[in-house]
Structure 1
């Protein structure tokens, strides 16, 4: 059954237009029209508003909320729920005032004050009866199982605040100055760190700072970057585009491989791991990617367009794709629940050249996961290493707080010295013979949500 939810932050001036200016807020007009097509039982409007508290008086002000609600109604939308943000808990008198002047019931005013972590927010909303409110307003089939989920979520929030041990992960990327570029990666690492009862210390390292050119130009920055890398418990090399910074990434990969530091390469990180291994372990000094050197004599990574050759996004391999495990003896397969195949989201254009993978068969680097046709290399694993894994897909997109992404979980388990113990204690595979991203679940075994490793 269709369920629609419009979440707005007020006042409307901050939404891209002036009050009453519908052309400045086309999405508001679209939802105004959509509410009649979807009908009331399938449409829900949540309005988020700030309740400021000036330090001079200490009084919580409701006028901004009243004004934004008035402007929203002038645009043809009425809130079903008003969520009030504040630095301190909102007083009952203030809540009743908002209820009276905004023409909603008191139970339709929810208050969220600053809390110790974002994981506390759902607990705060549940305490104010939001689940029951949704159930009655939208006639949702919410059963007793939701209470168990909320209980586990509350336990997770409690555990997050009590974490004492810290795990340091070095993220070696090209866009570290714009850290929002790695927001999904950061959350996936945080989910996994919480699952293994450690607080995440994520150290951002610009890959250029690890290169010799930086040593000549700015030795202080060079040594600071390498000091971070040397003190990390694990190394992550995420995706990216272009030649800039790739040498620094490969140096970080080489460090993790030779020093037995847990490593995870995602997308470009996996491709560079293959190139680094070919250059340093297979005597293929000219191995390269055609993205960086179109005329390379050893095209180890090549352009494999999904559809027709062209420019930019039209050639990218996007969306949920199936990866088949080619061996039973795979760390990542065990982390996924010992399933024969998985489905993960992709976003790339270049891939490992399938015609050259035979050179790796006699060495320790194995392509343990491929697409259904065996033409696209999806997963690499290095034997005789605590954890050296590369994936062509982006598992961070499907990570959830209580269901961390298996590749990221493996990195944190290895970085904290718990990977072997965890793999030994894992139970039999789930009833289903596949791993799927359906309903946003990123992990095959539900009991993963309650992982607690001492």
Structure 2
């Protein structure tokens, strides 16, 4: 991938030969143990899958020199490295996810930094100077990170290109202040285009209210910014109910602002009418503004309803889930199930979807195969008796079940990526083998879809989406499933 461009967080980074090291700092807010290690490992794995050489550093702001004397009740089991280093268990995640071998110096602690600085002071390296947290401790942190980031960790003796750094603890802890200040300075030393900050925070849902509260995260980000670091990456799914509540203008405009800034829109599966009006508005925005869109299960059904209402002038088009007596039942209860019965009445498990168009984007993403097999979980489906009204329009049903009676995939002609699927591709997605519909959304949102499709044209389905053992079914079993 040398010489090509990839994107992380808010900006593009160039990766030609001999470019400066890229640093990604992962911080945490509100509470510790929120999953920074998994986030750091996952991001590193994604970058490595792009052909980049990745290393990782874990910073623990405790005064212990290493984790050798820790109780497993407080920090989990000690992880042992090849060089005998006893380190935090997060380094075990790094090694397993990234398939690399780290060293004890990839684990930085407050104790190690102070011991290093005190040893230098005793040798007279700071002779004549007053040794202080700033600049001596902060300089030592930065030097340690820069030196260790260059150490090869994958056995090929080549320098890493990206260093993922996890800062343990929580922003605002007094123990971590020296490290936060060090990275505040470091972002300018490394140059801002080579430094990115990802902030992982908690959005609690109190049982008393039953709704998520973002105020703790807001305070955490405010504290981080007050210390001189600004997160580049935000992970925000938007509460779509306020989109339709003009009586609350503040929430109304906040929700629309988030929607308008989105590079891609995902409307997932679900049940019930709650939030559907807002979802319909979000789908309309994605369709008319050509924002990459993916609708899953209910998201696909709503995309069909939105198109019917606004492009086919079927203003009464609706789902019997929301309006049982709708005059235009565009989405209906599956005929083999009795309306009103909930238990054991869903279409579940692996089902075959046959592509009906050679120009389908999803067909190409799946490897240009005649059919796919994905897991389902739904009780309602697009009414097959009404799809003929879409035939002369731009919304195409490009995937059906083997009998041609159930609509499985929709795509909008002339749109960068407007896709809806009746199945749930997330059930069979894997970290190193992402589901094609989700991958397509991300590729379209970053402007890389066409280049990926050109590469895909050279690969087969088995190369990209090889079966997992627990997903494998015999032809006889598949036939049985289709009958059911």
Using structure 1 for the length normalisation, give the TM-score. 0.58
Alignment of 1:57-68 (within 5 A): 65=72
Tell me if 1:361 matches 2:394.
Answer: no
Query: Aligned-residue CA RMSD in angstroms?
Result: 4.2
Say if 2:236 is the partner of 1:203.
yes
Q: Which residue of 2 aligns with 1:293?
A: 323
Residues 321 and 344 of structure 1 are in contact (CA less than 8 Å); yes or no, is this contact kept in structure 2? yes
How many residues were matched structurally?
304
Distance verdict in 2 for CA 1:165–1:296, change over 3 Å: farther
**Separation in 2, partners of 1:262, 1:160:** 30
On the 8 A contact 1:342/1:434 being kept in 2, the answer is no
Greater share of residues in helix: 1
CA positional deviation for 1:282: 0.2
Residue 201 of structure 1: CA displacement? 4.2
Q: Deviations over 1:354-397 (max 9, x none)?
A: 11000000100000001111111110000011110001111112
Q: 1:58 to 1:435 in 2, by over 3 A?
A: closer
CA distance in 1 between partners of 2:258 and 2:372 (Å): 34
* 1:85 to partner: Cα distance: 3.6
Deviation at 1:307, TM superposition (A): 5.6
Taking the TM superposition and a 5 Å limit, the aligned residue runs for 1:173-322 are 201-211=234-244, 213=245, 215-216=246-247, 218-304=248-334, 311-322=341-352
Q: Find the aligned partners of 1:166 and 1:392 in 2 and give their Cα distance.
A: 36
Q: Does 1:350 align with 2:380?
A: yes
**Shift in Å, 1:306:** 5.7
Q: Aligned partners of 1:407 and 1:268: how far apart in 2? A: 15
Q: 1:381, 1:390 within 8 Å by CA — same for their partners in 2? A: yes
Q: 1:325 aligns with which of 355, 374, 394?
A: 355
In structure 2, the residue matched to 1:340 is 370
Q: Do the aligned partners of 2:81 and 2:102 also contact (CA within 8 Å) in 1?
A: no
Return 5+ residue gaps in structure 2 as ranges: 1-59, 104-152, 166-193, 199-209, 214-231, 473-484
SS in 1 for 2:235: strand
CA distance in 2, matches of 1:292, 1:275: 12
Measure the CA separation in 2 of the matches of 1:296 and 1:221.
31
CA contact (8 A) 2:297 2:423 kept: yes
Instruction: Answer whether contact 1:305 1:349 (CA < 8 A) is retained.
Output: no
Mind listing any 5+ residue stretches in structure 1 that lack a counterpart?
1-52, 69-82, 96-110, 129-149, 168-175, 180-198, 443-454
Aligned to 2:444: 414
Superposed displacement of residue 203, structure 1: 2.3
Give the deviation of 1:428 after TM superposition: 3.1
Cα deviation digits, residues 60-79 of structure 1 (max 9, x gap): 587965x99xxxxxxxxxxx
- SS at 1:223 equivalent: helix
Structure 1 residue 283: deviation in Å? 0.5
Determine if contact 1:367/1:379 at 8 Å carries over to the other structure.
Answer: yes
Distance 1:60 1:151 in 2: 24
The reply to whether residue 390 of structure 1 matches residue 366 of structure 2 is: no
